[in-house]
Chains A and B, each alone.
Chain A
Amino acid sequence: MSNPTATAEHNEPPTAEDKQLVRPPLVLNQRTMGWISSYISSIVEGKTPTWWYVSMAFTIPLTLLCLALLAYLISTGVGVWGNNHPVGWAWDITNFVFWIGIGHAGTLISAILFLTRQKWRTSINRAAEAMTLFAVVCAGIYPALHVGRVWMAWWLAPVPNANAIWQNFRSPLLWDVFAVSTYFTVSVLFWYTGLIPDLATLRDRCTTKIRKFIYGVLALGWRGGNRQWRHYEMAYLILAGLSTPLVLSVHSVVSFDFATSVVPGWHTTIFPPYFVAGAIFGGFAMVLTIMIPACAIYKPLHDLVTVNHVDKMCKIILLTGSIVGYAYLMELFIAWYSANPYERAAFWYRAFGPYWWAYWSMMFCNVVSPQFFWFKFFRTHLVWVWIIVQFPNMGMWFERFVIIATTLTRDFTPSAWGMFHPTWVDICTFIGTFGLFGTLFLLFIRFLPMICMFEVKAVLPEADPHHGEAHH
C-alpha cells in the first residue's frame, strides 16, 4: 500500500520505507465514492444557475454573429475576407491552425497521460476532451469555408464524380482532410466511450421520465458488470493507443501544408515536432483558462482538480513552451547557417519588417511568459496561473499569423510584395468562433458530467481490492 489513508487504517506508525512511498492523495478531504457521484451529478441535475444564463447571453449572440457572417461569406464570396494576392492564406488558416492546436491538449491528457499511467489525469480528462471536440468544430469551419465555393467542398471526398477526376493523394492538403476528419471522429468515439459509465450514473439517479429516457438511451444499457468492464477497459486502452500517434500525426500533417512547399520560412524539417509542441503548449493553456473558472464556480471541485493538478499542467506548459522557444531560435540559426539569401531575408523580415510587432508578441508570449512557471509561487496561485496562461493563448495565435501572413507578404520578387489587412468580417468571424466554443462548452457543463466520475472513483484508495490488507 502506498497511500496514506491505507497506512492510517493499519494503526501502525509508518516505517521509513513507507514514508518514501507516500504520495499526495489525488482526491483531497477523503471524499467518498458516493460524494463524487452526488456532487458531479448535482451540477447536471440542479437548477440552472444564473451565471450560466449570463454567460450564454454573451456566447449565443457571438455564435449567431459567426453563423451570420459565414452565411454572408457563402452568399457573397470569399472576397469578404481580406485574403488576396499575395496572401492567399490569411486569418482563415491562422485561425484553423490555432483552433486545431488547442484541441491537442485534450487528446494528450486523455491518451498519452493514460498510457503513461499518470493517474492525476482522471479529474481533468473529460473537460479537456470536450474542449478538443469543440476546438476542432471551430477549426473545421475555416478550411471548409475558405475553399470559396463551399457547395463544391464534397470534391475533397474520394467519391466518383461526373468528370471522372480523382483526388491527388500526394497532396498535403488532402492529407489534412483525412487527418482532421479522422481526428475529430476518433475524438468523438473516445469521448463518448468514456462517457458511457457516467451516463449510466446519471440515468440511475434520474427522477423524471424525460431525463430517464434521454440518459437511458445515451447510456446504451450499461450495467457495470465485470464482463462488460473487461472489454471496456481493453477498448479504452486501444483507443488511447490509437489516439497517441494520431494526435502527433494531425499537427504534423498540418505542418506539412507548409513544410512541403518551397516557400522560404516554411520549407523546414523542424516543423512537425515544433508544431506538435506548440499545439500542446497552447492547448494546456486553454485547458487551464477553462478549468480554473469552472472550479472557482463549483468550489468543491477543488478536492478533485487540486493545486497539484494545476502545478503539473504548468510544468507541461513550461516544458513545451521551452521546446517552442528552442524551435524559434533554431529556425533563426538555420536561416543564417543555410546561407540561403531568401531564407535569411524571410526571417529578417519576420523580426524587423512591418509585422515586427506580431513576431515580438509571439516571442514574449510563448518564450518569456512561461518562464514564470519555474517558480512554485506562480504555479500554485490560481489567479497568477490564469493570468500567465492568457499569454500562450495569444502567443500561439500570433505564431500562426507570423508563419502564414508574414511569410506570404514577401514573395521572391519585390513586384509580388504586399500587405495583409483583415476585414471586419475576418475579425468578427474569429470573435464569433469563441462564442461558438463557449456555447458548446457551457452546454457540456450543463448537461454532461464534466469530471469522469468512474475514473476518479477508481483512483480512490478504497477502490483497490486489497485495500486495508497486509502488504504482499
Chain B
Amino acid sequence: MNAVGNTSAPVYGIAAEFQCARDLYHAAQKIRDAGFQKWDVFSPFPIHGMDEAMGMKRSILGKVVFLGGLTGFLTAVTLEFGTSSFLYPLIVAGKPTNLFTVPAFFPIMFELTILLSAFTAVFGMLLMNGLPRLNHQLFNWDRFKLVTEDKFFVAIEAKDPQFSSRSVSDFLESLGGTHITTIHGD
C-alpha cells in the first residue's frame, strides 16, 4: 500500500479511488452499513441521492438562513421606524409614520431580509464546510487532484473508532477501490 505525506507524521486516513459515480454510490452504501462514522466520498460534482447513501440527514443550513433573514427583517424595521418615527420624524404625503403606513416601508424590509439571508447562506455554508482553509492532508496525495476533474474517491479517517489500517484497506479493496493509499499529515 502506498503512503503519501510525511510518513513520520500521524495518519490522516486511508483513501481509495473509484471510476464512476455509480461505483462510488454503492461503495458509500456499504461503508454506511459497515458503521463507519468519520469518512467522506469525493466527487467532481454533487451526486444525486448520495446523502441517503451515506446515511446523512438534510443540511440544516436552511434553518440557519431563516434566522439570518429574520435578523435582516428586524434590522430594517428598527432602522426605518427608529429613524422615521423617533430620531427624525418625517411626514411624507401628509401621512404619519405608524403601522398603518407600513406598505411604503416594505421594499427596504424585503431587501434587507434578502441581503442578510444571502450572507448567511454563503458564509454559513463555508463555516459548516470548514472553509476557507489553505491546505488539507488530502492534498498531499497527487492523485486526489483528479477529484475536480473526473475521478471519485473515498477516504476513511483515522479518527474513526473502527479504524485500523489493515482492515480498512482490505475493506476498500473489497468495494472495488483502486490506488489504495495511506495519507499522512505534514
Q: Which residues of A contact B (CB under 8 A)?
A: 32-34, 37-38, 158, 164-172, 174-175, 178-179, 182, 185-186, 189-190, 192-193, 197, 200-201, 203-205, 216-217, 220-235, 238-239, 242-243, 245-246, 249, 253, 256, 454-455, 457-458, 462-469
Q: Is the CB of B111 within 8 A of A469?
A: no
Q: What's the Cα separation between A231 and B21 when bound, in Å?
A: 19
Tell me which residues across on chain A come within 8 A of B56, comparing CB atoms: 226-227, 230
A35 closest partner in B (C-beta): B150
Give the 4 A-B CB pairs with smallest separation, nearest first. Answer: A465-B25, A235-B125, A220-B132, A33-B150
Q: What's the Cα separation between A172 and B28 when bound, in Å?
A: 54
Chain B, interface size: which category? 35 or more
A to B CB contacts below 8 Å, 8 in the list: A174-B108, A186-B115, A197-B45, A221-B132, A223-B147, A455-B45, A462-B21, A462-B22
Tell me which residues across on chain A come within 8 A of B121, comparing CB atoms: 189, 235, 238-239, 242
Q: Is the CB of A37 within 8 A of B150?
A: yes
| 18 additional A-B residue pairs with CB within 8 Å, beyond A178-B111, A186-B115 | A38-B149, A168-B92, A170-B93, A185-B118, A186-B114, A197-B45, A204-B149, A220-B126, A220-B131, A223-B42, A224-B148, A226-B56, A230-B58, A233-B46, A246-B111, A246-B114, A454-B44, A457-B44
Closest CB-CB distance, A337 to chain B, in whole Å? Answer: 26
Closest CB-CB distance, A232 to chain B, in whole Å? Answer: 6
Q: Is the CB of B125 within 8 A of A454?
A: no
Given A217-B134, A465-B22, CB of A458 within 8 Å of CB of B61: no
B24 at the interface (CB under 8 A from A): yes
B43 at the interface (CB under 8 A from A): yes
B159 at the interface (CB under 8 A from A): no
Q: Is the CB of B105 within 8 A of A204?
A: no
Q: What's the Cα separation between A366 and B177 when bound, in Å?
A: 58
Tell me which residues across on chain A come within 8 A of B147, comparing CB atoms: 204, 223-224
Q: Which residues of B contact A (CB under 8 A)?
A: 20-22, 24-25, 28, 40-51, 53-54, 56, 58-59, 61-62, 65, 79-80, 83-84, 87-88, 90, 92-93, 101, 104-105, 107-108, 110-112, 114-115, 117-119, 121-122, 124-126, 128-129, 131-136, 138, 145-150, 155
B47 closest partner in A (C-beta): A465
Given A179-B107, A249-B110, A465-B22, CB of A189 within 8 Å of CB of B119: yes
Q: Is the CB of A249 within 8 A of B107?
A: yes
Tell me which residues across on chain A come within 8 A of B54, comparing CB atoms: 226
